[in-house]
Amino acid sequence: MEYTNLGRTGLSVSRLCLGTMNFGPQTSEPDSFAIMDRALEHGINFFDTANVYGWKLGEGATEQIIGRWLAQGGDRRDKVVLGTKVYGRMGDLPNQQGLSARHIISACDASLRRLQTDWIDLYQMHHISRATPWEEIWQAMETLVAQGKVRYVGSSNFAGWHLAAGQESANRRHFLGLVSEQCIYNLITRHVELEVIPAAQAYGIGIIPWSPLHGGLLSGALRKLAEGTAGRTRSGRASEQLDTHRTAVEEYEKMCAELDEDPANVALAWLLSRPGVTAPIIGPRTMEQLDRTIRAADLPLGGETLAALDRLFPPIGAGGAAPEAWAW
């Protein structure tokens, strides 16, 4: 496994990030434990979760699973760069959601209890809050960093101008500010190439793509449907957009077959080749999925393959950053 710095920081993280959203709803606790242990064996040291994962209001079920795994000891906590998120609704009261200083601090304390740890390596804002001024957000984050509860702060689902506004506000306070942005990015969804990634690169903010397989659409969806082995492909983002992208996906799966590579690994390898990308988030439901995915970290794609992928899944406009993508 290769490692890289998280954004402009000195923190070393693996080029693949273990996503845990399936832990609890899709993957049992014993299997989740085994997947996390195997991830460490593969050299994956970057784990991502969120306080809302588990999808039972206020329970933080996935964080609890990770906490019980960490509590087993064996230097697990020292081996892991652990990220979680704040923003989502954690109760029925009006102040149990969002990015107010009150909620940021109380949600952090609750996550620490569930995770059974003293610190969070990467505390990510799960979404922008247009109702909260940056001064309030940074005051809360500075407090958590000063208390040793948080090491770094990241964002998720921010627009490019949000990254700029947030980082400029942090700079005025002489605070490190944002070190990562977690955004949807894959061969099919490339709009972040216009402004999010250029802004992130300008500010030294690492990109952590979520849904790198577009809900399973890039994981060999048509073959799995034909074989009757499709899981997520039958619902959600993949199912909704399969007809729209069917021709491109058919050609994509043919190309991967000619390369003798798993379509999922080709999609991940493409992301690893993209400028600004730190680590795509993989979300295995089973040990077998995790073991197959590791191949992506060591899969170089040649120039002809990259060009073919651009033809199948073209970037927006002329490609690249705005405004050149659509203007002279």
With the C-alpha atoms ordered 126, 132, 138, 141, is the resulting torsion angle positive or negative?
negative
C-alpha dihedral (211, 214, 215, 219), degrees to nearest 10: -110
Catalytic residue, chosen from 53, 123, 185, 203, is 53
Instruction: Fill in the amino acid letter for 164.
Output: A
User: How far is residue 66's CA from residue 33's CA, in Å, rounded to a whole number?
Assistant: 8
How, if at all, do strands 178-184 and 150-156 pair? parallel
All residues at 6 or more sequence positions from 65 whose CB lies less than 8 Å from its CB, including other chains: 20, 23, 24, 29, 32, 33, 54
Rounded CA-CA distance 216/232 in Å is 6
203 is catalytic: no
Catalytic residues: 53
